[in-house]
Each structure stands twice: as C-alpha cells, then as structure tokens.
Structure 1
Amino acid sequence: MLRPLLLLALCSLSAVVLASSPPVSALHRLADETYWHSLGHYERGKLGGWRSYVDDDDFFLAEGGEQDPAAELAATLAALYAPADQGDRHAQCVYPARTRWLREQLSLTDLLAVECSEFTTWYAEVAPHSAVLVFPAAYLNSPSSMFGHTLLRIDQADIDTQGSPLLSSALNFGAFIEGLDNSILYAWRGLMGGYPGLFSLLPYREKIGEYSRLENRDLWEYRLNLTPDETGQMLEHVWELKQIRFDYFFFDENCSYRLLELLEIARPGLRLTAQFPLTAIPADTVRAVIDAGLVESIDYRPSRERELLARTEPLETEELNWVRQLADDPQVLEQSDYLELPADRRALIQDGAYRLVRYRVTGEERDAANAAQSYRLLQAINRNPPPRLEVERPVLPEYGHESRTLQFGLGSRGDQTFAEYGLRMAYHDLLDNREGFPMGAQIEIAQLRIRQYEGNRWKLQRLDLAGIRSLTPVTPLLRPWSWQLAAGLERVPEGDQDRLVGHFNGGGGFAWQLGDGLLGFALATARLEHNPDFGAAISPAAGFDSGLLWRNGAGNLLLEARGDYFHNGEARRRISFAQQFELHDDIGLRLGLERSFTHRADGQTEVQLQLRWYYY
C-alpha cells in the first residue's frame, strides 16, 4: 500500500513542476547568463566546456553540476518546488541568492512559501547595509600575508551615526589549516592548492586585533558604493557558501580573487575576475576595484608599531632612554630626576612607554604583571595627557607599480656582449620603483632570465623560484631581525666560464637607518648548492651579505658586497652597484655594474643597462 502512495505523490509533484516550468529554450538562455555562472563560480575549461571553482559536492544539486551549468539550473528549479515541510533544508533556504534570481528572471509567482528560520535569523544579525573592502598591508614575516590580504567589512544601516565599525562583521576567505605546518610546508602547500579555502564571517574587531595588533600591519579601508540591495544579495550568496570548500592557491584562487567574485554577485555586469587569469595579487585587485568605480572613500588605520614610532619620533636620545626604563619598571614614575623633566615631555615619554609595553606583549596571553604595568602607565597618562597622536598616512598601496615585470637588457661580461630577456611574475625588489612600497622589502616570485650572446648563443641565466628580503632598521626602542631567503637556478663563475647550479640560501642580521632615505645592512648567510663540479650532491657554504640602500631623487641605489665560502675550499666574492631610474610609474631603467671573484680565476666585470616594464 505504501509503495503505490509514494509513486502517486512523486507523480503529483512532477506534474506540478512540469506545469510550472518555463520553455526549455528559456532555461538554456538562463544557463548561459553570466550571472548564473557567477552564482555557480563557473569558468570555461582549458579544453572547452565548464568547470566550477567550487570543490565541494555539497554545493551542487545536479549530478555533474560542477561541469554543467544547465543541469544545475534545472535541478535548482525543480528543488525550489519541493514540499515546504523540509524547513531549513529546503532549496529556497539553502540557496537564497539562486532563489531570488530565478524568481525574478522567470516570474515564479507560484513558489510555495517556506519558513527559513536559520537564514532569516543569521541575516537579521548581520543586518547588511553597506560594505567596505579592507586591505591589511603586506607583512613579510607571515608566509600567507607577504602580498597583503583583502577582506570585506559588512556594516549596518546606522554605522555612521550610532554604531561603530568594530561591531560590524568581517567576511574573510582563507586557507583552513589543521595542525601546525611550518612556514616552508605552508608555503609549498599554499602554492600547490593543498589547503581547502573557506569563507568565514566573524566580528570585525577580531580582525582588527589580528592584523593591526598581532601582526603589526597597517589597514586600509575602502568604502564601496554598493547599495543596500546589492550588499544584501551578496550576503545571500555568502549563506550559500557556508562551509563550502574551494581549493586555495596563494597566487590566483586566493582571498582577493574570491572577494572579486562576491562583488560580481553584488553588482551584475562587473568584470573583475576576468582581469586576473594567472595571478591575483591583493594590491592589484584593490586597484581593479577602484578602477571599476566602486570606491567612494578611503580610511587608514595605522599599526601598533607605526603608532609607537610616530609617538616617540620627536623624543631625544635621553628621553628614549626614559621610555625604555618606564616600560621595564613603572616605579621610575616616582623618581625625582624623572619628575624634574618638563610636564609636556613626560607626557610624551609616558605615552611612548605605554605603547612600547603593549607592543612587547603582542600575541601573548594576558599576564597579571603586564596588566598592572600598563595600568600604572595609564594612570600617569590620565594625569598628564599627551597631545593627540597624528600618524602621517603613507602612500596608498594601489599607487605602486603593477606586479608583473618584463625586462630587456643590453650588456657585456668580460669581452662578450649580450642581450637579456626576462619575466617576473611578482612582485617587487629593493630597486624597483619605490612609490607605494616600504623601503627594504623585497618579494620576487617566479623570475626567468635568458641571455643571447654573440653568435646567437642562448643561455638560461637564472630561474628564481623565490627571493624574499626584509631589511627592517633597528631603532632605539625596537631591534627587529633583518633576513632573506632565495631558491632557484643561477649561473656562477667557473674559471673563465660559468655554470648553471641549483641553490637555496638565506641569512639573518640587522639593518640601520643611517640617514634620510639611507639604509645600511649586514647579514650572515648560509648556502646549499648543487654543483656537478663539486662532487658532492649538496655543498654547503657560509658567507656574508652587506650593503647600502639609498632612496635618491632619481630612484633607488644599491651598493652590495657578498661572499660565499664553501666547505671544499671554493670561495666566491661579488661587489655590485645598481641604480634604478624611475622614468614613469610603470617603467624603470636600471644600470648595473658587477665585479665577481673566485680563487680559481681572474675577476670578471659585468655591465648591463636594463629596461623594466611593470604591467599586469
């Protein structure tokens, strides 16, 4: 008896759906709509057909829906007419953005009313009214944040009059990591798509703490001109992506690319993701959002470190000593020689000491002794308040040069002339056009250089997988390490010739601000090299890297000396000079002079003039 009744019910449901279905031609037209492709995160496959960026079967209703937008649309339409007693599991509740769009496109006035209590409650709590694109600046000491990061802040209607941005929600897409992967494994798995990427929605104050406090990163907030309706329909799609997995790749399918997809949901007709077929560097995606006319205003939140340096910048050496003493022991507040200082100078010293204490405990668990120390300093600040802190706003990150670089050079090595052709996928080195980039920071990924010598002889000069340098100057209050890492293939001198070898090297030391725009550095280095001439598969070396970096009126100048001393007696030394001339925002001319020495041959001199074009 039960089986016939079930068959009868299924036939009745099918009849209802068929009676309500639009013509097949209309469904095919809708399946070809760009907006439907955006809802399914579809892209054209490299060999034809379709594929979805979503790597989670739970997102699709149709068998093979990840490769068939038409089948997924038909399955969605059928599911919308399912019995209303499914409650929060009903397709109208699980896919509110799909439901809204199909209802509008097909005039589905006969859809059953379904109570979606979970979605309704969540949507009311977020209360989306407007959106802000947030860009935490690049942070070299975190592999996942070397290029910066982007997220969206979702604000309520009264944010400007009665609310606070700290009460808003932060919409973030990031790699989901289980366990504790070290930095090298994290970088490798991030490059290869070894982590799942998930969307998360959490209080914005937590992200403020993570980026500007824990990681000491400046925050840029770009208020978008999305309407409340546009912001709302974007959040409807975020609900559809709850706990849905994407493969996460650092360079393309990353936080920035996924947020561009959401903006295309919010405002149909935007063509943001199409601009990033290979890589999606956060600064470039911010520039694309601005160029699309989506930004109406920009706010800046300095990091804890920048605030500390700005507050203590006007202090003299002796006053900075007082800052350190107060940060170590607040009892110094009662010393007679400290109290003899002018009140206005004590106000600056006390505020600087408080900020130094807070900087030192960044990322640590709350400690009673540190809390008591901070409280003593706060009491002194309240009794003798300093003037309002004004932090100079740095150059906007989108004003920097484009991320990809084409290189063309002419030069000579010894008595041989050559032409050199190069491509760097990302991002910036110490000499590149400086606007929008911090001094002493370098991130180079996937760089290829090929040389053409006289007689049409071609050589692979170098293939860099990565080259990262962080030269952060020591200050009277802070002593950060400077460091560098590099890996790839490069040519090294072998007598009168050269040889292509594989290498991995790194180093650590310190940098110093020697003057306005002048940075000196000295690092101890270590190198592992695969060189067929050495016999051993891997040969280690110890060495040094030191130099001067000068920002001058023409651009950047780097004077550098390096040495590597191998365990087998091989010794290499190199002195180089290079000046970048900034011809345009995205064009640079670089003059380089290098003298290299080995203990087995006379020194070789290389001169090169190189044109660099920064583009995306």
Structure 2
Amino acid sequence: MTLKRILPYLALSLCPPLHAASLPSGDRLDTLAEAPYWLALGHYERGKLGGWRSYVDDTDFFLAAEGNSDPAAELRATVKALYAPANLGDKHAQCIYPARTRWLREQLRLADLPEVACPEYRAWYQDVNPHSAVLVFPAAYLNSPSSMFGHTLLRIDQADVDSHGTALLSYALNFGAYIEGMDNSLLYAWKGLMGGYPGLFALVPYRDKLGEYSRLENRDLWEYRLNLTPEETGRMVEHVWELKQVRFDYYFFDENCSYRLLELLEVARPGVELTDDFPLTAIPTDTVRAVVDAGLVERIDYRPSRERELLARAEPLERDEQGWVLRLADDESLLDDPAFLALPQARRALAQDAAFRLVRYRATGEERNRATATRSFRLLQGINRNPPPTLDIERPGLPEQGHRSRTWQLGLGSRDERAFAEYGLRMAYHDLNDNLHGFPLGAQIEILQLKLRQYEGNHWQLQRLDLATIRSLTPRNHLLQPWSWQVAGGLERVPGEDGDERLVGHFNGGAGGTWKLNEDLLGFALATARIEHNPDFAAAIAPALGFDTGVLWRNPVGNLTLEAKGDYFHNGEVRRSLGLTQQWEVSPRLGLRLSAERQFSSLTPPENELMLQLRWYHY
C-alpha cells in the first residue's frame, strides 16, 4: 500500500476522530456495501465460486487489506478514513476518493466530515470542466493487432463545445494496455490475449487521440454523443480521478477498453446495466450496440479517415489525371507545367487537391521536414487559387447495425456420398462471406471457431478448431499500393493416406495483392507458406509453399467467393482445392450459406463436398 493510502490510517491511529461516535452502525454499512453503486465504484463482480472479487489488480486502490474481495470491509475503511484530520491535504481520503466521498456523504448524511480543500483534485477537475460525453469508436484496422476489432474511448466535453466548435480542446478518456519496451506485433497479440499487460486509464487531449487513430492508423471515427447530464458526466469524471495510475488486468477479449468504459457509464448513470451482457467477450462493436440499446445516445457523427478522403477525391479522376496526382505529390513545381495547365480548370482543381491529400497521407507518422512542408504549402496555394468542390463522402453503415460477433452454425451436407451434419460455434467475429453491413469488403477476423461433424452411423469427429484466421484483402489502386495478407492457425481435417481424413495442426500465412475489378468485385492473388504436423508425414513438421487466389463478389443477395488454393510440400505431397461459397443475408442475425468444394491430393482420389449451412449471429 502506497504512502498516500496509508496516511489516512496513520492519522486516525494517532489522533482518534472526535466524531467516531457518529459513525453509522455496522449493519447499515454492510447493507450499503451491497448497493450496486458501491460495487460499481470498486469494480466488484461475483466470484466464480462465490464471494466477491474486484477487477482492479492494484492493492494501492484499496484502503482495507482485504478490500479487493470484501466490499463491506472496504466501505468501513473508507468511512473511517474520511474522518482523518484535514491537515493531510491532498493525501486525505476525501481528495483521493471524491466519488466515494460524495456518495457516502449523501447515503449516510455525513454532515460532520472535516473540511478538506483538495487543491490538486480541484484544479484537475476544473481543467477538465466536464459537461457532456461522447463515445468514440475508431473503426477496425486490420494492419494493427491492437486494433483488429476497433476500439472505444470517451470524449469529455465542456459546456460550449458545440456552439464554439472546440471538440479538439476536449479530453479523451482511454483505457488500454500499458506496454514497456518495444514488443513486436506477434508478441503484443499473444500477451494481449493472455493478460500479459496491465491496463491503465489515461486522460489526454482529444486532438492527440484524434491524430493517433484517424491519421496515424487511417481509421474512420464514429462519435456517439451521449445524453448524460452534466451531473452524470461529472460523477464519472470524479471516479476517473480515483482510478489515476490504478492497474487493471487487460485482456483483448473481455477486460478491454470497451468493457472498462461500460463500467464508467454505469457509474455515471446508476441503474443502467451494461456489463452484464458480456460474461465472456466484449467486442467493441457489441459494446457500442449495448450503449445504443440502453438509450444513452442522442446523436451520431462520422469522421472519415485521411485514406478515405483521398480515395473519394481521386475517384472521379481518369487514370492519366491520377498520374498527375502522383507527379504533383512528388514535385510541386509541375503545377506550372504547360501540360498540367492544359487540363480543364475543374480537373486541375481535383488533381491538385488529391495531390495535397496524398502528400499528407504519405507523411503520416513521419517527422515533419522542410521538403514536405514546402510541397504542401505550394499545393495549398494552388488549391486556394482554384478550389475544388466540397468533398462529400457518403456515410457507411453504422458499425453497431452489423451482425453480432458470436455465431452458431448448423450445416447439412455430403462428402463423397457420405451425409453429415455439422455443428459450429465461432466466438468472434467476421469472415469474407458474412453479412456485410457495417464491415469493409475483403476483411476477415475469426477467433476461436469450433466445428464438429456427425456422419451417418453416428460417427462424430472434430472437423476443425481455428485459433485465429485473419485476412486483409485491401485493393490496390493507382495511388495506393497496400499489400494484402492473411494468417491462420489451428487444427483441421485434410486428406489422408488410407482415404480417411487426418486431423493436423497447422500455421499458415501469405501475402500478395487485391484489385478492385468493379464497385462490388475484388480479385486477389497471394503467395502462401504453411507448416503442418501430420501423422502421415515422416517429419514432425512439414513445410509447404503455395498460392491462394480468387474473387470476392458483393451481389444483390449477399457475398460470393470463388477461391483456388494449393500447397506443395517439400516431401512431395501436393494438395489443391477449388471452392465456391455464397451466403444469402436472410436478416441481420441470420445467414444461409451454400458451399461447394473439390479437393485434390496426391494421396487420394479427388473428393467433393457440398453443404448448406444456417448461421445465427446471436451475441
């Protein structure tokens, strides 16, 4: 326990409070300790085997030695600490726990508490000056492991933010993993899944967070203005002060940024229940949906990323005009080139504005330099002389209106004239054929997917267990050339030597390109590598090189993929497949999927599989 937590107790032991006789009875305190609001302030939950446990993983947060598992002991310790001598100043419990102090003063009518100034807390609170709050959702960004599912944070606004347009001067309240050192992406993902990082709350200027998510990571931002009153917003900010430098466990799936913010909203508005719906996972889009469904949102605003703005500005340009965009972004002196000046005035306006946006996009995350600044300034001068029309970007589907994250699957099919039923569960989140509303075309993130099959004769087998499957098929264009990539690992069935299927462990990945063939049609081609543990192979681990190519079509009834894959193992095994999958979007929570696949292996004759599957997006 740190000095700031010990001081109130030392003062009480040395100078017994004059008002000890006025303390409430033990029964009254025990009853109050079970109040939902007190449990919310301590971040308590029912333990799996009974009793209580706090999500807070920091003994400094508690005044009682057993405070992390005994809400009543923590409440009694807090009440006693509130009567410590006022000369403790900022170290007084009233200053460290303003939310506890206010609530206990109201519930127990503690009119005789010492008067403590708390200058440090008062100055901080006045600087934040909370009046209203906005839930901000930076959309998913596949190229960052920490952002695969999106993110949520709270913006704390002052009273005049709308009338004065001063949102950038607000504060952003964020909960995230605290990382010391430079862990690589794979290690970051693993430690995030396993709880290897502590989680901390941070209150930083909103303009800094806006730059980080919308600019550095090129993510669209959704802003959900909450209907919290000034009193409710202030109550939440009071509790944020209590959580300053307090460590929580952090897990990607459940005890993450979104879950912690739901707890704060329960503090802001007592009686609203948001966390009860997330016993296993808390995917950011699902938590946003919970906030909307609870009636806490009064307005939704959308901020497109730099990348989306660039592509929208360049979309009307012909290919040769986009060539001018590239040349201008490299050499601003071409603004005076006779060939460029020969273009119609309206086309020049679009080209130079797109060039300016491309320069800013390329500079993302880089140190500011004189050459880039000069080029930007010259392009801005050209834009001022010949301004383009206002950029109007159509707002995409609301993230929370997309399908639910957890999916149950029931399929009926046939494999080489053997009928089977297949039962599946996917914990999260989205694949290439799922209902697309609120998701980008070509993105796939699946975590923990289990599939069991029941063949004729009541023969059961584990068909596959996917730990993770991630695919990012981002189309290349004349201006931007992103790589497409994929990675997957787990257990799956493959053709075996005796005509049966073998359950093998595998890890594979690939990289390549994706191209937009028309508005709703993508074509992709990737080179792949695979390592596999197969009982039919002599070596414990067998490597293979291969390919994965196909098309993805967004059609009137749903999504269709046509995909050809091949793996060529070092031991001579060759495995190829050709598959077609079409999903019909029956409703936002139901999908009907037809899949057909023909597999080729050097170990067995070709095999055909056909399946019709019902998918229920239930949570």
Q: Please report the TM-score for the alignment, with normalisation by the length of structure 1.
A: 0.98
Partner of 2:106: 104
AA aligned to 1:375 is: F
Partner of 2:5: none
Q: 3-state DSSP class of the match of 2:536? A: helix
Distance 1:17 1:433 in 2: 64
Partner of 2:258: 256
Query: Which stretches in structure 2 are left out of the alignment for 5+ residues?
Result: 1-9
Asked if 1:506 is matched to 2:509, the reply is yes
Distance 1:503 1:135 in 2: 34
Partner of 2:528: 525
Q: 3-state DSSP class of the match of 1:16? A: coil
Distance 1:590 1:226, change over 3 A: same
Q: 3-state DSSP class of the match of 1:601? A: coil
Listed as ranges, the matches of 1:341-380 within 5 Å are: 341-380=343-382
Q: 3-state DSSP class of the match of 1:501? A: strand
Judge conservation of contact 2:422–2:452 (CA < 8 Å) in 1: yes
Residues 156-190 of structure 1, C-alpha deviations (whole Å, 9 max, x = no match) = 01111224100000000000001111111111100
Asked if 1:553 is matched to 2:556, the reply is yes
2:50 counterpart (48, 53, 59): 48
Judge conservation of contact 2:17–2:83 (CA < 8 Å) in 1: no
Listed as ranges, the matches of 1:581-600 within 5 Å are: 581-600=584-603
Judge conservation of contact 2:507–2:531 (CA < 8 Å) in 1: yes
Once structures 1 and 2 are overlaid, which stretch shifts more, 492-501 or 281-290? 492-501
1:537 counterpart (534, 537, 540): 540
1:612 counterpart (606, 611, 615): 615
Q: 3-state DSSP class of the match of 1:532? A: coil
Distance 1:21 1:383, change over 3 A: same
Distance 1:406 1:591 in 2: 16
2:500 counterpart (497, 502, 505): 497
Once structures 1 and 2 are overlaid, which stretch shifts more, 164-173 or 366-375? 366-375
AA aligned to 2:405 is: S
AA aligned to 2:423 is: Y
1:278 counterpart (268, 280, 297): 280
Partner of 2:582: 579
AA aligned to 2:477 is: T
Listed as ranges, the matches of 1:102-251 within 5 Å are: 102-251=104-253
Distance 2:376 2:355 in 1: 9
Judge conservation of contact 1:351–1:386 (CA < 8 Å) in 2: yes
2:333 counterpart (331, 334, 341): 331
1:448 counterpart (431, 447, 450): 450
Q: 3-state DSSP class of the match of 1:602? A: coil
Distance 1:13 1:80 in 2: 13
Distance 1:141 1:77 in 2: 49
Partner of 1:5: none
AA aligned to 2:596 is: L
Judge conservation of contact 2:19–2:112 (CA < 8 Å) in 1: no
What's the CA shift for 1:415? 2.3
What's the CA shift for 1:15? 5.8
AA aligned to 1:299 is: D
Residues 572-614 of structure 1, C-alpha deviations (whole Å, 9 max, x = no match) = 0000011001111110010010000011221000010000000
Q: 3-state DSSP class of the match of 2:110? A: coil
AA aligned to 1:70 is: A
Partner of 1:422: 424
What's the CA shift for 1:79? 0.1
Q: Please report the TM-score for the alignment, with normalisation by the length of structure 2.
A: 0.97
Judge conservation of contact 2:488–2:509 (CA < 8 Å) in 1: yes
AA aligned to 2:551 is: L
Q: 3-state DSSP class of the match of 1:244? A: coil
Distance 1:595 1:71, change over 3 A: same
Distance 1:479 1:433 in 2: 27
Query: Which stretches in structure 1 are left out of the alignment for 5+ residues?
Result: 1-7
Residues 267-305 of structure 1, C-alpha deviations (whole Å, 9 max, x = no match) = 000100001000000000000000000000000000000
AA aligned to 1:286 is: V
Q: 3-state DSSP class of the match of 1:569? A: coil
**What RMSD, in angstroms, separates the aligned Cα atoms of the two structures?**
1.3
Distance 1:473 1:407 in 2: 30
AA aligned to 1:490 is: E
Distance 1:128 1:10 in 2: 33
Distance 1:517 1:501 in 2: 36
% identical aligned pairs? 71
Distance 2:588 2:331 in 1: 49
AA aligned to 1:582 is: E
Distance 1:171 1:53 in 2: 18
Asked if 1:564 is matched to 2:605, the reply is no
Judge conservation of contact 1:467–1:484 (CA < 8 Å) in 2: yes
Judge conservation of contact 1:550–1:558 (CA < 8 Å) in 2: yes
Residues 27-57 of structure 1, C-alpha deviations (whole Å, 9 max, x = no match) = 1110010100000000000000000000001
AA aligned to 1:594 is: E
Q: 3-state DSSP class of the match of 1:103? A: helix
Listed as ranges, the matches of 1:407-486 within 5 Å are: 407-486=409-488
Judge conservation of contact 1:17–1:78 (CA < 8 Å) in 2: no
Distance 1:165 1:233 in 2: 21
Residues 197-243 of structure 1, C-alpha deviations (whole Å, 9 max, x = no match) = 00001100001110111100000000000000000010000000000
Distance 1:76 1:99 in 2: 8
What's the CA shift for 1:76? 0.2
Aligned pair count reads: 610
What's the CA shift for 1:14? 3.9
Distance 1:390 1:10 in 2: 64
Distance 1:446 1:374 in 2: 46
Distance 1:333 1:9, change over 3 A: closer
